[in-house]
Structure 1
Amino acid sequence: MTTAPVIGPEERLPLGAAEADPRTATRRRYLMCEPRYFTVSYSINPWMDPSAPVSTDVALRQWHELKATYERLGHVVETIEPAAGLPDMVFAANSGTVIGGRVLGSRFRAVERAAEADHYRRWFVERGYRDVVMPESINEAEGDFAWTGEVLLAGTGFRTDPGAHAEAQEVLGVPVVSLRLVDPRYYHLDTALMVLTEADPTTGRRAQIAYYRDAFSLGSQRVLRHLFPDAVIASDVDAACLGLNGVSDGYNVVLPREANRLATELTARGYNPVMVDISELRKSGGGPKCCTMELRD
């Protein structure tokens, strides 16, 4: 486990002994939003307690270190200007899904977050994205959508409506697999599942994920076992620190620093865990992935 190694993008990297194929770090482009106005002034998930102390300064320091970690790993980070009165705008993953340059925006369930969607829409339009569609159904974007390189895994149960799954398939032009979340602590798909390696049809590489079984309905657990028989299964302890709210480039996996068991398992699978402190932002139910929208142009 490391804190922030410098790994060249596209570099073929060494394996754990159990791995047949090397893990590959690929350069990614991310969109992030500084938590300049971060606080916990309302509660829309079980992690949020407006009566508990929150430090905006600590959240800022942790966010800047997360951003710097991505940059040290060779990734490109774009930023959007935060807006006063929108303390959760820092969670960029919830405001857009980008695949092949097509953008599906968001429509939030909670009224407190509704205005965030148009700020992100304008960011895409002002930067020349031509295919920007705002959804009709409740859709919390990469909070509930995870691209595996072949299919879009789509969560529902607490935030995103099932109808948004069909809408995503039409707008983004990729097949969608619906998964039902059943534990309110894991209210978004990205709190219970992360993509470690994307599938690559040109090389025959299969996608690999990590997930927490008990966050999903029994039927969805069967679907995940069928699609990903070699998935990394997270423990209760890993899930409880939002350890699955991580970001992988195919080799380096940025995780909350408390997710030690998951980090050990990932190391055994040939990945390189990169641990970060995101504890202040976790008070609003967020981790590294919540802060990070991937721009797949």
Structure 2
Amino acid sequence: MTDTHALPVRIPTPRHYLMCPPRHFAVEYSINPWMDPSRPVDVELAMRQWTTLRDLYRELGHTVDEVPPQPGLPDMVFAANSGTVVDGRVLGSRFRAPQRAAEAEHFRRWFVEHGFRDVTMPRQINEAEGDFAWTGGLLLAGTGFRTDPGAHAEAQETLGVPVVSLHLVDERYYHLDTALFVLQPEQEAMRAQVAYYPEAFSPGSQRVLRRLFPDAVIANAADAECFGLNGVSDGRHVVLPVETESTGLAGRIAERGYEVRFVDISELRKAGGGPKCCTLEIRK
């Protein structure tokens, strides 16, 4: 039994999120192993699930802005892939799949129209917070399937923060945000807390993660398969797919003093997305 008196006191921090409603959501092509165009998609259900996620963020005290969805861009709901914002600097995205390429300009325009003056569009393939995770002191950067390794150096130069490269080796976890998320950011790297699935990473990257985050929450295969590592934390409240209650990940996170809130995002998972995929964080 967990000694609740020994749990650390977790303080939530108000966040600013950017999201895009899935009004045009569909699975019309396959650009990751989760996408099967032959499976029916219920757009209304996807909208209800997305709305529940958005409303939960607002209930927790966070600001949520919305980018208007565009016809012909069914994956635009996955806003995390469209920009990385640190200290008000914006590094946009450049998608590997041509089906998603046009999304980048819609998000770039949103940032410019909302007063962001330091907006840079990348030259390298860069799928933004899909492959970039800010720990408060370091930018963890994934590569292996989508984002080019050269984008890591470009991010460091553009955002002015140190970058640590991590190599993904399992095609099911094609983005960093399907295999790792930050529970508690801290300026000192080893004080930050993350959760991750080791088998998604190369042996060298696993060693790096163990060195950087000795107190990490370690996920198993069942946790990863339900997109349990595609979570969102405000430092106290952790938003996870409802399936993580039965896999045990939610319990392991709660044992660290966090309060887990569950969402059903199963319809959007048909395109390989979870809570974090739908959520771009704006850090001013």
TM-score range, shorter chain: over 0.9
TM (normalized to structure 1)? 0.93
1:103 maps to which residue? 90
Identity of aligned residues (%): 69
2:123 aligned to which of 131, 136, 141: 136
2:104 maps to which residue? 117
Q: What is the CA–CA distance in structure 2 between the aligned matches of 1:124 and 1:160, rounded to whole Å?
A: 21
Q: What is the CA–CA distance in structure 1 between the aligned matches of 2:139 and 2:5, rounded to whole Å?
A: 31
Q: What is the CA–CA distance in structure 1 between the aligned matches of 2:266 and 2:226, rounded to whole Å?
A: 9
Q: How far did residue 205 of structure 1 move?
A: 8.7
Q: How does 1:1-297 map to 2 (within 5 A)?
A: 16-19=4-7, 21-200=8-187, 206-260=191-245, 261-297=248-284
Q: Which has the higher helix share?
A: 2
Q: Deviations over 1:228-258 (max 9, x none)?
A: 0010000111100000001000010000000
Aligned partner of 2:114: which letter? Answer: R
Q: What is the CA–CA distance in structure 2 between the aligned matches of 1:83 and 1:68, rounded to whole Å?
A: 22
| CA RMSD in angstroms, aligned pairs only | 1.2
What 5-or-longer segments of structure 2 have no aligned partner? none
Preserved CA contact (<8 Å) 1:144 1:155: yes
Aligned partner of 2:75: which letter? Answer: D
Aligned partner of 2:240: which letter? Answer: L
Q: How far did residue 168 of structure 1 move?
A: 0.2
TM (normalized to structure 2)? 0.97
Q: What is the CA–CA distance in structure 2 between the aligned matches of 1:230 and 1:94, rounded to whole Å?
A: 28
Q: How far did residue 140 of structure 1 move?
A: 0.1
What 5-or-longer segments of structure 1 have no aligned partner? 1-14
Q: How far did residue 17 of structure 1 move?
A: 3.9
- Runs (4 or more) in structure 1 with deviation over 6 Å come to none
1:7 maps to which residue? none
> How many positions carry a matched residue from both structures?
280
Q: How far did residue 73 of structure 1 move?
A: 0.5
